[in-house]
Structure 1
């Protein structure tokens, strides 16, 4: 990056962190530190909810997802509006009326201590791992830009977030997130504009969509019902509904955002705002990835987008093999330019025969570039098992750093880093609040003064920050990061959601039945996942339904057993 880009990047990040620390000064007790004194307006609640979800993974991996697989990923969010209705009707009023710090406090009042503790533990496990992945994402950026080992950039990015979240708590998170989202929205518009601007003269936005459509990249909705397909309308509406309901309704990183609202109304409006904006935002990010794909029909992309892995091969005994692969790849890309240009001309003439011919040849050359990539990956595997064979996380980053003008590179890198900071901060904050409220305050130190709990919250924040950094150091093997986070959540979210739905709607089911059902359900869900029996989105629905059914049956068995015991 240029000096100007570094200045833009540094000033953007430092000014937002400084503002957040200034606005969050003076936290005197645990409510101020963990819940921002419950004084935030609806729009800030909504932006905080969105920023918690919109990590660097979103802005790095999502364009790469669209580049490789098209628009189908957006179906994941089709269940969000339905989930929002239930959240506003049931979850928010209950949590706000009971005046809880975490969602899991409610479970002890409804069931018992062991059920609350098990659910909180499941949350800590999956959120701790997921937050580690959100730290890893910006570390990739700095590693690529600076050309240094990703271990050092991981320690650096994790250290920045830990430092300001330990001091400022939830207020620091909320106020920084508000400005982060404003800059992020601006940056998305600029990124989309620049991709179109960099297309060849005479090729506009509509032309780009035509090419993407002919290459099967605009496959937004898949109506087929396939339980092994990750993204179709049914997995999105059903599996996505359960995922979103559990994430927004039972994950403390989200619950903690809307508990900061001034009132039930403000919390509801914040969630509704998130529901209205979320799907268009994700759609827009995917479109940017599609535009980048079209851009590379007219420009030669690298054989592999991860420059670190390319450099490793270039300095290995497989260098000559790589050069042959690169030559074949470049020849195919030159042919793609010719056929893409011919396709645009045929579309302009509405010549169906010419369109079919150009489309056939373009796809043929695209297949060759995919095969050269597979050949390169084979070289990576031959060269050493430490190689990261998935480069989707590097697609957008590679485009930004190579093709965008001075100044914009720094801005877009700042956007990705800011997104990571916001999401990571919320994750660490929720881990700390759950640890202190559901374990430390409940079991270890039940009668301490407010300052002790405030100090414990800061120490817990620092400890979880270190844990997440350690996880980030080992996150390089998970493939596409945004899929990895959703897959990890799907192992636990359905189970946790089922516990809360039983609590809300099956009043006859007691704590012991739910506790044992949760353990059994988690074993089943993990077994289904390990044996690849269905696509990961369905695990959310399966886990929830299993928990409810097993808890209901278990309670019946307990009731019959107690009845027989009393009769005897």
Structure 2
């Protein structure tokens, strides 16, 4: 990296931090610190909600997923607008009417303090783990490709987030996220332009789509009803809806974003903005990955994208050298087929697709062999693909901007999570069990200290985390392990009025235990389920158990 890239990277990050600190320096009461004095417009809410969900993992992992598997992941978001409508109609009015700081305060009014505390605890566990992952994901990839120190990179990202989140609270998070989203999308459009520019002169966007389609990268809709498949139309309108209902309706990291709205109307419009814009945004990010795949049909990609994670090369092993030679020969054959296709022989496109399948098998063989030589080598390298292109093909200056995009995405998501973790701990535990005073200044100080504490914990989680098959899937898996139970409790609270506190509490324990057992069986290969179904199963078990327990052992209504 040149000094220009370093300057753009750290200059962008410094401006974001300074802006957040300056604009929110006068927050002195708990209302202002945790809810921003209800001053956010619908646009700020919508962008803030999107930024909290769209972490660095989205912009690193999603293009890599599209490169490997195509556009099918976009189906995951098809149920989002429906979830936004349900939340806006049924859930938002209750939060605004009760003037709550956290979603879990409502559960005490509906049930009791045990149900409130249990649900808040499940949120703290799931979101605390996710906060560490949103720091670790960009750090591990940046350090692998750039040679940075992993521990220092995690600490840098976490510290920058802590500074402005502690300083300005919820308002600082929302304001900075608005500008972070602008930087992120500008950077992605620039990257898209340079990906298309890397095509040969006789290949344009339409030809790129044809090539991607012939190689099965443009299948958007999968109508399969097989519940073991992760991304289908069925899962997008069932399991994903339950995940989004729980995430946006009951997860404090999102609830806090729209509780700071100027009005109920502003919050509703902000949520609907997110529901409608998120799908085309995700479609575009996936399309970036697909066009990157097309670019590497003409510009030979490395056999492995994360070569920096191992010291072994083809020069060190005869088997690797032979596989590498075979890879080069098949790639040349594929290029010849593509050249003939572009010259008018359309039948050669099928030949090129066949050669591409062969290259995938060769890459897999190479990684298997490398794994036997170096047990520390991680075979999954989807998350390295996009950043590899940025470093190898982007001009000086723009590399710094794209790295700033990744850092900004990590900071925006982590800031929303730390703010929500501190708010939940302050309101649902500290204010509830340890301090009943109305000393606003003291409460704000405690909330700031808790923000620092959660930030340090997130950094620690990042420092001990390990690389996974695909990072964006890992985030959703962590959420799915807990969101079904949390959503089930809220469904009981909102819609099944005869179920009382004891039944809801026991049902939550049963639901959470069932999901964790089911996930263990899935990991062990004893059952085969998509993780998206955890959300449906968990919430269904909680609702069914709550109703059953209440009917079998009715409770007396508290007066």
TM, length-normalised to structure 1: 0.94
Tell me, yes or no, if structure 1 residue 466 matches structure 2 residue 466.
Answer: no
Indicate which of 365, 369, 373 corresponds to 1:375: 365
Task: Tell me which residue corresponds to 1:31.
Answer: 31
CA shift, 1:306, in A, is: 1.1
Task: Tell me which residue corresponds to 1:169.
Answer: 169
Native 8 Å contact 2:141 2:383 kept in 1: no
Structure 2 Cα separation of the partners of residues 19 and 141 of structure 1: 27
SS of match in other structure, 2:219: coil
How do 1:142-291 residues align onto structure 2 when only pairs under 5 Å count? 142-144=142-144, 146-291=146-291
Structure 2 Cα separation of the partners of residues 53 and 320 of structure 1: 46
Structure 1 Cα separation of the partners of residues 410 and 103 of structure 2: 24
Number of residue pairs matched by the alignment: 552
Q: What runs of 5+ residues in structure 2 fail to find an aligned partner?
A: 523-527
Structure 2 Cα separation of the partners of residues 57 and 483 of structure 1: 9
Structure 1 Cα separation of the partners of residues 163 and 321 of structure 2: 45
CA shift, 1:228, in A, is: 0.3
Native 8 Å contact 2:21 2:164 kept in 1: yes
CA shift, 1:384, in A, is: 4.0
CA shift, 1:160, in A, is: 1.7
Native 8 Å contact 1:245 1:497 kept in 2: yes
Structure 2 Cα separation of the partners of residues 221 and 206 of structure 1: 20
CA shift, 1:383, in A, is: 3.3
Structure 2 Cα separation of the partners of residues 304 and 399 of structure 1: 13
CA shift, 1:312, in A, is: 2.1
TM, length-normalised to structure 2: 0.95
Native 8 Å contact 1:318 1:379 kept in 2: no
Native 8 Å contact 1:313 1:322 kept in 2: no
Task: Tell me which residue corresponds to 1:61.
Answer: 61
Task: Tell me which residue corresponds to 1:130.
Answer: 130
Native 8 Å contact 1:522 1:543 kept in 2: yes
Task: Tell me which residue corresponds to 1:355.
Answer: 346
Structure 2 Cα separation of the partners of residues 159 and 340 of structure 1: 49
Aligned-CA RMSD value: 1.7
Task: Tell me which residue corresponds to 1:545.
Answer: 540
User: Residues 145 and 528 of structure 1: is their aligned pair in 2 closer, same or farther, counting only changes over 3 Å?
Assistant: closer
Task: Tell me which residue corresponds to 1:434.
Answer: 424
CA shift, 1:320, in A, is: 4.4
SS of match in other structure, 1:225: coil
CA shift, 1:474, in A, is: 2.8
User: Residues 40 and 562 of structure 1: is their aligned pair in 2 closer, same or farther, counting only changes over 3 Å?
Assistant: closer
CA shift, 1:318, in A, is: 4.8
Task: Tell me which residue corresponds to 2:323.
Answer: 325
CA shift, 1:319, in A, is: 4.4
Residues 136-180 of structure 1 show CA distances to partners (whole Å, capped at 9, x for unaligned) of 122134314541332221122222212221222112211111111
Residues 299-346 of structure 1 show CA distances to partners (whole Å, capped at 9, x for unaligned) of 11111111322x42239x954443333222222222222222223334
Structure 2 Cα separation of the partners of residues 387 and 455 of structure 1: 45
User: Residues 95 and 203 of structure 1: is their aligned pair in 2 closer, same or farther, counting only changes over 3 Å?
Assistant: same
SS of match in other structure, 2:237: helix
How do 1:399-438 residues align onto structure 2 when only pairs under 5 Å count? 399-438=389-428
SS of match in other structure, 2:553: helix
**Deviates further, 438-447 or 268-277:** 438-447
Task: Tell me which residue corresponds to 2:481.
Answer: 491
Structure 1 Cα separation of the partners of residues 455 and 338 of structure 2: 48
CA shift, 1:447, in A, is: 2.3
Structure 1 Cα separation of the partners of residues 330 and 8 of structure 2: 38
Structure 1 Cα separation of the partners of residues 540 and 172 of structure 2: 38
Task: Tell me which residue corresponds to 2:471.
Answer: 481
Structure 1 Cα separation of the partners of residues 40 and 335 of structure 2: 52
Structure 1 Cα separation of the partners of residues 556 and 53 of structure 2: 46
Structure 2 Cα separation of the partners of residues 146 and 203 of structure 1: 31
Native 8 Å contact 1:5 1:407 kept in 2: yes
Residues 25-76 of structure 1 show CA distances to partners (whole Å, capped at 9, x for unaligned) of 1110122111111111110011100110111000000000000001110010
Structure 2 Cα separation of the partners of residues 65 and 205 of structure 1: 20
Native 8 Å contact 2:214 2:350 kept in 1: no
Native 8 Å contact 2:46 2:271 kept in 1: yes
Structure 1 Cα separation of the partners of residues 308 and 477 of structure 2: 26
Indicate which of 310, 333, 354 corresponds to 1:335: 333
SS of match in other structure, 2:312: helix
Structure 1 Cα separation of the partners of residues 226 and 380 of structure 2: 25
Tell me, yes or no, if structure 1 residue 298 matches structure 2 residue 308.
Answer: no
Native 8 Å contact 1:261 1:267 kept in 2: yes
Structure 1 Cα separation of the partners of residues 312 and 35 of structure 2: 50
User: Residues 164 and 364 of structure 1: is their aligned pair in 2 closer, same or farther, counting only changes over 3 Å?
Assistant: same
Tell me, yes or no, if structure 1 residue 44 matches structure 2 residue 35.
Answer: no
Structure 2 Cα separation of the partners of residues 421 and 540 of structure 1: 27
Native 8 Å contact 1:299 1:337 kept in 2: no
Native 8 Å contact 1:212 1:218 kept in 2: yes
Task: Tell me which residue corresponds to 1:8.
Answer: 8
CA shift, 1:376, in A, is: 2.9
SS of match in other structure, 1:216: coil
SS of match in other structure, 1:301: coil
User: Residues 513 and 179 of structure 1: is their aligned pair in 2 closer, same or farther, counting only changes over 3 Å?
Assistant: same
Q: What runs of 5+ residues in structure 1 fail to find an aligned partner?
A: 347-353, 564-568
Structure 1 Cα separation of the partners of residues 235 and 342 of structure 2: 35
